[in-house]
Structure 1
Amino acid sequence: MSKTNDKFEKKRLRSSNITVVISISLVLFLLGIFGLIVINAQSYAEHLKRELKIEAYFKDVEDPKLKDKELDLQKSYIDSLKVKYPFVEATQYISKEDAAKIAKKDLGTDGSDFFEESIFPASVQITLNPALIQSVEQIDSINKVLAKNPIVDEVKSDKEAMVTIYHSINKITFWIMIFAVIFLVIVVVLINNSIRLKIYAKRFSIKTMQLVGARRRFIVKPFLIEAALLGFLAAFIAAVGLGFLWYILATKVGLVLWNPSFTPLIIILIGIGVVIAVFSTLFAAWRYLRLKTDQLY
């Protein structure tokens, strides 16, 4: 009879653990999908920021003595940009000839009837580091800094497009953070309920151990270890599921298979799974330890 009861208890325990792991992994999987959306939204925002380039136009050197050194002065200025200014991510030099070719392409003509190639100044196209630029005001300040150099004639940037894009990015970021907080609360509640149901099924075992003289720490410790393992396993399953889902999407849509931001996402999912499972177990077990025997029913 006792062997039958032991088998029944082990079967019920196994079933309870499987239910908890599946419940937590599904919740973390949904949270991971939201995380993928956030990462890709951030990557797209950075892409848009990189497309908003600043162009500094060089002055024509009038002094005949310095005419031969004009190109060297311009290249020296370009090389100094990355050294002096951390907000500069990349630079591209555009010579007068290249500027003329771009103008011809924009006008849709291959001839030189409308202009002379020498009327277009040489320039440097600057790509800003999106991580360091958070507002249009910063770009205005950068324009003023770049224009102070004596060989620079004018600094231009598409301010209207920048205002529109930065406003949209800030708005999207705000709502993403709101939904992230709401979703995280839902995740905590769902995982907590799954763990509480598991501990509820063991409430008599907990109270029995307490009645025979076991200390609370001794009673709670194995539950916490088990909760940490279940949380880790659930997070691992969720991460594998997310990886499989992303692989399918990436191969079909043509996205990159790996983004460096995926590593923090996986660590966060594991952390959430383990921490919430452990603390939910601790609070639930502690609750039943404080109850009287007749209150367990």
Structure 2
Amino acid sequence: MASSFEQYQKRRLISSYFSVVLSIFLVLFLLGALGLFVINSKKITNDFKEDIPMTVFFKNEANDSILNAFDTDLKNARYIKEYAFVHKDSAAKNNVDIVGKDFMEFLGFNPLQNSFDINLKGDYVVADSIKKIESGIKKNEFVSEIIYDKTLVDLVNNNIKKISFWILIISGFFALIAMLLINSSMRLSIYSHRFTIKTMQMVGATKSFIRKPFIWRSIKLGLTGSVLAIIALIALVSYVDGLLPQLHLAKDYVSLGIVFGGVLLVGILITWISTFFATQRFLNLRTDDLY
């Protein structure tokens, strides 16, 4: 009979530990995933903004030396991510491939112009910076036209501001929820040992002596949940890196180190603090209040 009761208590204890580790793992995984998103949000938004092209068309009077000089200027410009020269003959051929008709046969000449397709760095894809870049390029007398989607640029930047604001709000909310959930799990775990705590106190054990094994055990549970969360985050980063290789998330060791270190630290600190105050509460209760 005693053996059956001991097995029941053991299973109950293991189940309690499992639920604590699971709750720590889930909360820290969500918090870590959000942290990765926040840290890499600038990189993600820049990647999107850098896909907005700017096309610079040159007059037919522009010869090779003028085009080569402009090419050199772009190569040395700090605001350029990448660019490509598009010869008017290549543009005509691409037009035929898309439309399916050779307009040059109908017109008898190529009306298209030589151009440069430019992708700016994300930090420069804002209204003020683009206007300055556009004004600088237009100083070249052989530039006939500069085309880019002004409406899309404004729309993207306005949406990024709104999204960034809500990300900060959600991050704060998730951090609060994380602390409350882990704290509740640890308090429930300590609650099941309240009689053991009071018995140890009644036989003369000091408060620090009673707290010590509970704190060490909670730190181990916090470490276990944190390590599981980090493993899951590594899998998540590998998956996202496969979908969006241009972001190089898996190679951003600094950001990954900050998030993983944060997850590990939060898992240890919250479990330690929660256990300290939970044991302190039961140590200060009267025996009658335990029931």
Report the secondary structure of 2:186's partner residue.
helix
Q: Structure 1 stretches of 5 or more lacking a match?
A: none
Number of equivalenced pairs? 282
Are 1:54 and 2:58 counterparts?
Answer: no
- What is aligned with 1:114? 107
The 3 A distance-change label for structure 1 pair 80 and 204 is: same
Identity across aligned pairs (percent)? 33
1:193 aligns with 2:184: yes
Task: State which of 255, 265, 277 in structure 1 corresponds to 2:243.
Answer: 255
Q: CA RMSD in A?
A: 4.3
In structure 1, the residue matched to 2:92 is: 100
Whether 1:180 aligns to 2:171 is yes
Does 2:260 align with 1:272? Answer: no
CA distance in 1, matches of 2:11, 2:124: 57
Contact persistence 2:58–2:144 (CA under 8 A): yes
Q: Tell me the amino acid that sits aligned with residue 185 of structure 1.
A: L
Distance apart, 1:233 and its partner CA:
1.2
Displacement of 1:256 in angstroms is 5.4
Select between 36-45 and 154-163 the one with higher mean Cα deviation: 36-45
Tell me whether 1:70 sits opposite 2:66 in the alignment. yes
Match of 1:285 among 264, 269, 279: 279
Alignment of 1:91 with 2:83, yes or no, is: yes
- Would the alpha carbon gap of residues 24 and 77 (structure 1) be closer, same or farther in structure 2, given more than 3 Å must change? same
Matched, 1:26 2:26: yes
Q: Would the alpha carbon gap of residues 146 and 296 (structure 1) be closer, same or farther in structure 2, given more than 3 Å must change?
A: farther
Q: Distance in 2 between matches of 1:32 and 1:210?
A: 39
Report the TM-score when normalising by structure 2.
0.72
Residue type at the aligned position of 1:175:
W
Instruction: Give the counterpart letter for 2:225 in structure 1.
Output: A
Task: Find the aligned partners of 2:67 and 2:271 in 1 and give their Cα distance.
Answer: 64
SS at match of 2:243: coil
Change (3 A) 1:2 1:238: same
Deviations 1:91-137 (A, max 9, x none): 222233334334555655324133633x544332222233x257434
CA distance in 2, matches of 1:291, 1:102: 82
Structure 2 Cα separation of the partners of residues 229 and 59 of structure 1? 71
Q: Report matched runs for 1:230-249 at 5 Å.
A: 230-240=221-231
The letter of the residue matching 1:24 is I
Q: Displacement, 1:80?
A: 0.9
Q: What is the TM-score normalised by the length of structure 1? A: 0.70
- Contact conserved, 1:32 with 1:242, CA < 8 A, in 2? yes
Q: Measure how far apart 1:231 and its partner are.
A: 1.6
State whether residues 56 and 147 of structure 1, in contact with CA within 8 Å, keep that contact through their aligned partners in structure 2: no
